[in-house]
Amino acid sequence: MHMMRGRLNARLERLRSAYKPDAELMADSAEDADELLGILVDLSEHAPEQGLEFTNEVYVLRHLLSTAMYASQHCVSELESGNDGDVQFAKAYRKFGAAKLTLDAPEKLLPKDTVTVRGERFWDRFTRLSEEREALADKTKRTDLGR
C-alpha cells in the first residue's frame, strides 16, 4: 500500500501539471494503472485475513484503478483519432484521485504498527527521509559521497 501511495501521488501530479492530454502521457497513465493493479493482486491475496470491510475497500480500489486504466486507454484512442480526449482525460484523473482517497480507507483498518514507523505514517517517513538525504547529498562534497 505504501508503494501504491507514492505511485498514485506521482501519477496525479503528472496529470495535474499537464496543460492538455497527450497520447504519451495517457499511455503512461494506463501502464501505471496496470502496474498498480499488479501490486494490488498481492494485497488482495491477504485482504480476507483483515476482514470483510478491508476486503471491500481493496475491491473498490481495484475497480477505481481498472477504470482509470480504461479511461487512460480510451483517451489515447481519442487523441490518436484526432479528438481532444478531454472527457476521458478528466475521467482518468478523477478515477486516479478517487483511488488515492480510497487507499486511505483500508490503511485505516490495519493495526497501527503495520502502517507507521515510530508513530509516523510509512509514506510520510519515506518522503521525509528521502528529501532530507537528498538535501544532505547536495551539501556534501563529491569526494565525501564516494566513501
Backbone angles phi, psi at 13, to 5 degrees: -65, -40
Which tens digit of pLDDT belongs to each residue from 5-33? Answer: 889 999 999 999 998 889 999 999 999 99
- Nearest to 125, CA basis, from 6, 21, 36, 13: 6
Which tens digit of pLDDT belongs to each residue from 96-134? Answer: 999 999 988 877 776 666 667 777 877 778 788 888 898
Residue type, 20: K
Residue type, 47: A
Same domain, yes or no: 106 and 123: no
Better pLDDT: 86 or 45 = 86
Same domain, yes or no: 59 and 41: yes
Same domain, yes or no: 74 and 142: no
d(CA 143, CA 147) in angstroms, rounded, equals: 7
Same domain, yes or no: 10 and 65: yes
Same domain, yes or no: 20 and 83: yes
Name the H helices within 22-116: 23-46, 52-80, 86-109
Same domain, yes or no: 58 and 120: no
Same domain, yes or no: 36 and 7: yes
The pLDDT of residue 80 is 95
Same domain, yes or no: 76 and 133: no
Here the cell at position 28 is 503512461
Same domain, yes or no: 123 and 69: no
Domain that holds residue 46: 2-110
Would you list the DSSP string of 107-140? Answer: HHHS-GGGTEETTEEHHHHHHHHHHHHHHHHHHS
Same domain, yes or no: 93 and 32: yes
Same domain, yes or no: 7 and 74: yes
Q: How many domains does the chain have?
A: 2
Same domain, yes or no: 92 and 52: yes
